[in-house]
Structure 1
Amino acid sequence: MRSDVTRALVVVAHPDDVDFAAAGTVASWTAAGVAVAYCLVTSGDAGGFDDTPRSEMAGLREAEQRAAAAALGVTDLTFLRHPDGEVAPTLALRRDISRVVRRVRPQRVLTQSPEVFWERIAVSHPDHRATGEAALAAVYPDARNPFAHPELLADEGLEAWAVPETWLAGCPPERVNHVVDVGPTLDAKLAALRAHRSQTAHRDDLETLIPGLLARNGERFAHLAADGVRYVEAFQVVDTS
């Protein structure tokens, strides 16, 4: 893993995706002084488990995501507001993500795997896979190519930027090549998830569900973790330099 990272960008489909997949990792980055920014492709307007009017859901979920991000030390959030449930890896989405990459200029991008995780299909929501595919295309080749989406440079002054390292969350287990010890940041992860009240308030098992999933990761990928590490978040790290 790179040791010179000062800026990281997280690109996910929905509010709460980053917190279920990687909040412990993000908390460890911000604690180490890394400036983390979020790019949310949708505002989660198709989510929720109560009678909140659809017209209010997007605004509610954006507010929840801002609160969850604040719990981890993240204040730079961009909402692209593509329709929830209709995400596709179009050139338009690649351009929108490239815009954020060029603005943030991260040395690391964390996004969602474009592959299917057959063991837990919910991890591989179509929006997640489409977001991962578009984000990877934005990382390579779009954001680094000054001739891709030329309006970003000509009209907005956003110069090309190459991202050296990309982390994929929710990848198939056989792709995992790196884990992060999130035992020290487990409380921060749970606080971030609780902030998504429209998604988690109906669950009374969050305090056992999340540690249980992270502990199973710790057992499964113990060969990648230091001795004594119990709770881990797992990723496929790709060299995109």
Structure 2
Amino acid sequence: MTPAEAAERFGWRRVLAFGAHPDDLDFGAAATVAALIRAGVEVTYCVMTDGDAGGFDADTHDTIIERRHQEQRDAAAHLGVQQVEFMGERDGYLEPNHRVRSQVVALMRRHRPDVVIGMHPERDWTRLQRSHPDHLAAGEAVVRASYPAVENAFAYPELLEQGLEPFHLRWLLLFGGPQQHQNLLLDVTGSEQDKLTALRHHLSQHPDVSRMEDFVLGSMADLHRGARARSAPGAPVQPDVEASQGSVRYAEAFHLVEVNAADTISGF
């Protein structure tokens, strides 16, 4: 299944995407985002921390926030993302507390997306770097906001005073979690170079750009090649990605969660 096919199947016309740091969304979902935007889907980015603990150059670290904001704006612009929001939390200190969650709920109610892309709140022990504490906190804040707060008029009543009415979110699309939770692989072949171009904008974070690019391309190719092997009976991933003859194809993996289905009863 391609991102365009997923958008058609699941009714995604408006996407709100949350990342813990500048570059997280580009590592996790940039190829999918690029393909969705080409299919006419509107995507907004929200970056929860300023990335102020990132970078490698002590001599210029006093300007790291401004640099990382601009890097993210430039990367998003390449993909076609029209709007980037920054929550301004401190890098390394993000917590899924009520102050943060109320901001997430406010953004969800303001943008009223069909699907929220976010980081997975569960730790991946096979590659711990995916599970930076801020990543887990960002994922937990988004999941907690998605139910019940975003649809409960009595949660964060100050938001009602701002005209931000509750609504029922249909879908969550989470990345960076354990493999056993991956239940949607999207064929992003043709958008892999968009992902690399977006990541190249985050130069403050890449002391070895070539190694980063090789890793990203290799990981996406491995996901595509491994799709059929992991789709045996009882395995978590279904064969959404077709095998390819004679060419390298690429995929991004997600945990798709239906928050509100036709038979859902919300009792808070």
TM bin, normalised by shorter chain, reads over 0.9
Report the number of matched residues. 240
The structure 2 residue matched to 1:55, chosen from 42, 47, 62, is 62
- Listed as ranges, the matches of 1:85-104 within 5 Å are 85-104=92-111
CA distance in 2 between counterparts of 1:59 and 1:202 reads: 22
**Bigger Rg, which one:** 2
- Listed as ranges, the matches of 1:73-222 within 5 Å are 73-154=80-161, 156-222=162-228
**CA RMSD across the alignment:** 1.3
Cα drift, residue 51 of structure 1: 3.0
Cα drift, residue 54 of structure 1: 3.1
Alignment identity in percent? 41
Instruction: Calculate the TM-score normalised by the size of structure 2.
Output: 0.86
Q: Deviations over 1:91-115 (max 9, x none)?
A: 1111011111011110000100110
Does the CA-based 8 Å contact 1:117-1:172 persist in structure 2?
Answer: yes
CA distance in 1 between counterparts of 2:168 and 2:207 reads: 40
Cα drift, residue 201 of structure 1: 5.0
CA distance in 2 between counterparts of 1:126 and 1:207 reads: 24
Does the CA-based 8 Å contact 1:13-1:41 persist in structure 2?
Answer: yes
Q: Deviations over 1:152-203 (max 9, x none)?
A: 111x111112210001101101111001111110110010000111012543
CA distance in 2 between counterparts of 1:235 and 1:204 reads: 25
CA distance in 2 between counterparts of 1:97 and 1:106 reads: 12
CA distance in 2 between counterparts of 1:49 and 1:143 reads: 38
Gaps of 5+ in 2: 1-5, 232-238, 261-268
Q: Deviations over 1:114-167 (max 9, x none)?
A: 10111100001010001000001111111111111111111x111112210001
CA distance in 1 between counterparts of 2:212 and 2:189 reads: 16
Match for 2:72: what amino acid? Q
Gaps of 5+ in 1: none
